[in-house]
C-alpha cells in the first residue's frame, strides 16, 4: 500500500500533464488507496501528505478530490492535527469553490462526529474564529455549525457572538442549523440567551462513503485505550439530564 500511495502523492501535482497511460495508472492507485483506507485507515504521515496534495492542488476533478480527501481517515489514534487549521483556512478563501469548501468542512465534521479525532486538541480549537465567520454562508452554515457544536468552550461564548447568532437565526433557512449552537451558548452563558429555545435540530450526516470509513475507524479506536469518545462534551451530558 505504501508504494502505491507514495507514487500517487509524488505524481499528483502533474495531473494536467499526464499521458492517458499515466492517468490510468494514477486512477488505479487512487482507487486502491480509497478501498484500503475504507477497510484499514491511513497512517498519520500518509494523511498529512495526501491532504496537503488534495486540498491545495487543483489537479483532479472535484469528485476524485473529494473521494481522496474522504479517504483521509486514521488507522489508529495518531492523526496529523496540524492539517486541520490549514484545511479550515483554505476553506475560507474568497474564491474557493463552494462545493469544495463544503467537502473540506464535511470531512472535518465527520471526524468529530465519529470521535475519530480528539476535539480537545489545540489545532482544532484555533480554527474557531474562522469557522464562526463562515456561519453567514447559507451553503456551509449547517456543517460549520456542526463543527462549532463540538469545539465550543466557555471562553468562546461572548456577547457579540451571541448577538450574531441570534441575528442569523432570524434569517430565512438558518434557524434549523443555528438553534443547536445557540443552545450550547445558552448552556454556558444563560444570561446572554434569555429567550426560550425550541428544540429544532438538523442533523448534518456525512456521505455514505465517508460514514462507512469513519465507522470502521471508530470501531478500531474503541479497541484502544486512547479512544476519545464523547466524554469531553460535558455540555451534552448536562443537556440530556435537563430534558
The pLDDT tens digits of the residues spanning 49-82 come to 999 888 877 767 788 888 899 999 999 999 999 9
Q: How far is CA 240 from CA 72, 182, 186, 237, in A?
A: 32, 16, 14, 5
Query: What pTM was computed for the model?
Result: 0.83
Which residues, in sequence order, are CB contacts of 34 under 8 Å at separation 6+?
67, 68, 71
156: pLDDT strictly greater than 70? yes
Percent of the chain clearing pLDDT 70 (strictly above): 75
139: pLDDT strictly greater than 80? yes
Across 124-128, 173-177, 234-238, which has the greatest mean pLDDT? Answer: 124-128
φ, ψ of residue 203 to 5 degrees: the values are -80, 130
Q: Per-residue confidence at 208, pLDDT binned at 50, 70, 90? A: confident
- Measured distance CA(67)–CA(81) in Å, rounded: 20
Judge contact between 90 and 55, C-beta under 8 A.
yes
Q: According to the model, what pLDDT value does residue 242 have?
A: 43
pLDDT in tens, 3-50: 344 444 444 444 444 566 656 666 777 788 888 998 999 999 999 999
Q: According to the model, what pLDDT value does residue 2 have?
A: 46
pLDDT in tens, 109-125: 999 999 999 999 999 99
The CB-side HSE value for 214 (13 A sphere, CA atoms) comes to 21
Amino acid at each position: 500500500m505504501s508504494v502505491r500511495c507514495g507514487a500517487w502523492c509524488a505524481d499528483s501535482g502533474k495531473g494536467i500533464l499526464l499521458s492517458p497511460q499515466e492517468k490510468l495508472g494514477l486512477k488505479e492507485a487512487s482507487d486502491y488507496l480509497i478501498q484500503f483506507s475504507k477497510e484499514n485507515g491511513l497512517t498519520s504521515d500518509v494523511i498529512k501528505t495526501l491532504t496537503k496534495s488534495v486540498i491545495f492542488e487543483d489537479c483532479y476533478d472535484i469528485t476524485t478530490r473529494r473521494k481522496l480527501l474522504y479517504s483521509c481517515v486514521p488507522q489508529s489514534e495518531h492523526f496529523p492535527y496540524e492539517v486541520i487549521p490549514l484545511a479550515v483556512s483554505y476553506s475560507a478563501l474568497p474564491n474557493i469553490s463552494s462545493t469544495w469548501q463544503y467537502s473540506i468542512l464535511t470531512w472535518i465534521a465527520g471526524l468529530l462526529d465519529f470521535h475519530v479525532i480528539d476535539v480537545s486538541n489545540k489545532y482544532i480549537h484555533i480554527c474557531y474564529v474562522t469557522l464562526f465567520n463562515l456561519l453567514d454562508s447559507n451553503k456551509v452554515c449547517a456543517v460549520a455549525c456542526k463543527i462549532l457544536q463540538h469545539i465550543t468552550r466557555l471562553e468562546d461564548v461572548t456577547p457579540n457572538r451571541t448577538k450574531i447568532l441570534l441575528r442569523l437565526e432570524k434569517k430565512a433557512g438558518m434557524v434549523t442549523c443555528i438553534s443547536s449552537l445557540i443552545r450550547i451558548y445558552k448552556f454556558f452563558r444563560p444570561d446572554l440567551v434569555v429567550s426560550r429555545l425550541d428544540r429544532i435540530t438538523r442533523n448534518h450526516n456525512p456521505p455514505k462513503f465517508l460514514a462507512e470509513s469513519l465507522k470502521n475507524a471508530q470501531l478500531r479506536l474503541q479497541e484502544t485505550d486512547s479512544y476519545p469518545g464523547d466524554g469531553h462534551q460535558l455540555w451534552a451530558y448536562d443537556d440530556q439530564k435537563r430534558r
